[in-house]
Structure 1
């Protein structure tokens, strides 16, 4: 028996498993539902296993189907990635990096300069998107994310365990901070609060930051300025809109350029480190290794 299954049947299986319907799979593949059903029967005959449970128009994977689907999906993703690069004449010359919105401008973009100096002709595709991301299907070479728990089956490389500290523009502090006598007396309306969203609970708040310093001050976020991105908090602080509890890796450029000042030497650590998630097939790429190194530096 030939151990290699019929590839058309494998493709039909992957699309059917992903979409959950033969009709949707047929539409994606540009064939009839009957053709998809026949390909699935061919694959089931090849393995001698039933791969789907049919329930009207809906289908669900059996235990055997669940066992092979992850490997099938990854394999087809790899084939598609290599094919796309060959057709574009860019095999091993294009780097696809996926990054959360908050990290793209203030952290990733400045680090790309070092990569471009070493690989000036490399094509870089920066995709700004939230978790989760299908790394294999979307041909991602490197995904940056908060925490090490988002993705399985890939290599996880810790980059930096960031911290937050109070920052604002020099002009804002001259106008409001010095008159108030410092952070403990600054009016609540002048504080910028970052809303991390419903999925996160490990980022320090202003009240937690004060408590870690031994201060009893508690701030009501509804009385201040609220933003939905940590990078936006930095931008708002640079524009003189208030004092942000900003992430150090995002504030570094503004601090070095004098657009921001740090109002305290005390910082509070985030709950988790930022990590790079790299499919194992991409680990050998030198440009991936260099970018991981650049992102992991504290300078």
Structure 2
């Protein structure tokens, strides 16, 4: 079966793709991050293409990596389902949920313990959505995503409305900020592009110009920078309610 890659490398790659981290994948599999890296490298050598972009902080899937990971997730789920059907010991109902890591860490994890207590017969597995618009695209039962979907197949969970937010420490150091124009001179933190901030300022009749702070390709990195007091970011307040309630984060304007 020379046309099939060594299956021993697949679990490490699938976990690394799911977490976008060799370290977290290693913890989940009970092996070292070096071993995960070696499995991924061997798989890349066999496929003849790079699956990850290595960065100083974590890794990011390439386009080829996203395609291969999506297929791996589906294949692994089908194997698990087949095992559950033929094994009388596998009695738990399994539900897979595709969800962005930022929504998982900021919103879902606080709600999972209550769900598990209320429904102990259900085992929840969380997979990376890879930009999917339907659960079927990533072999999941459910999908949490941003944007409009047909009402008959979706239910609104959270508001995606964003508002300027910063840490209390940054407000004490750089504030106060009396209104939108006062934010023009602040250190603005961006999620993926500067477009969101530009649109926000235009809504208030202002034009963003000049140098600005770094752009973060992942919302978890953005929120970590905001929490550390590095500047102001546009955040969906529905994801940071607990930080707002405790006063760790402050909403500055509409």
TM-score bracket relative to the smaller structure: 0.5 to 0.7
Q: Is the 8 A contact 1:234 1:251 kept in 2?
A: no
Q: CA deviation at 1:108?
A: 1.8
Going from structure 1 to structure 2, the CA distance change for 1:144 and 1:88 (only over 3 Å counts) comes to farther
The match for 1:249 is 238
Q: TM-score, normalised by structure 2?
A: 0.58
Higher relative contact order (CA 8 A, sep 6+): 1
Over the aligned positions, Cα root-mean-square deviation in angstroms equals 3.7
Q: What's the secondary structure of 1:89's corresponding residue?
A: coil
Q: Is the 8 A contact 1:191 1:243 kept in 2?
A: yes
Name structure 2 gaps, 5 residues minimum. 6-74
The match for 1:231 is 220
Which protein shows a greater Rg? 1
Q: What's the secondary structure of 2:132's corresponding residue?
A: coil
Matches within 5 A, 1:142-221: 142-148=142-148, 155-178=153-176, 183-186=180-183, 188=185, 190-195=187-192, 205-213=196-204, 215-220=205-210
Higher mean C-alpha displacement, 168-177 vs 249-258 = 249-258
Give the distance between the partners of 1:257 and 1:89, measured in 2 at CA.
45
Q: What's the secondary structure of 1:224's corresponding residue?
A: coil
Q: CA deviation at 1:242?
A: 0.4
Q: CA deviation at 1:188?
A: 4.5
Q: Is the 8 A contact 2:99 2:144 kept in 1?
A: yes
Name structure 1 gaps, 5 residues minimum. 1-22, 29-75, 197-202, 267-299
Q: What's the secondary structure of 2:130's corresponding residue?
A: coil
Q: CA deviation at 1:216?
A: 1.7
Q: TM-score, normalised by structure 1?
A: 0.51
Aligned positions, number: 184
Give the distance between the partners of 1:177 and 1:244, measured in 2 at CA.
14
Q: Is the 8 A contact 1:102 1:232 kept in 2?
A: no
Going from structure 1 to structure 2, the CA distance change for 1:170 and 1:138 (only over 3 Å counts) comes to closer
Cα deviation code 1:5-51 (max 9, x no counterpart): xxxxxxxxxxxxxxxxxx84xx58xxxxxxxxxxxxxxxxxxxxxxx
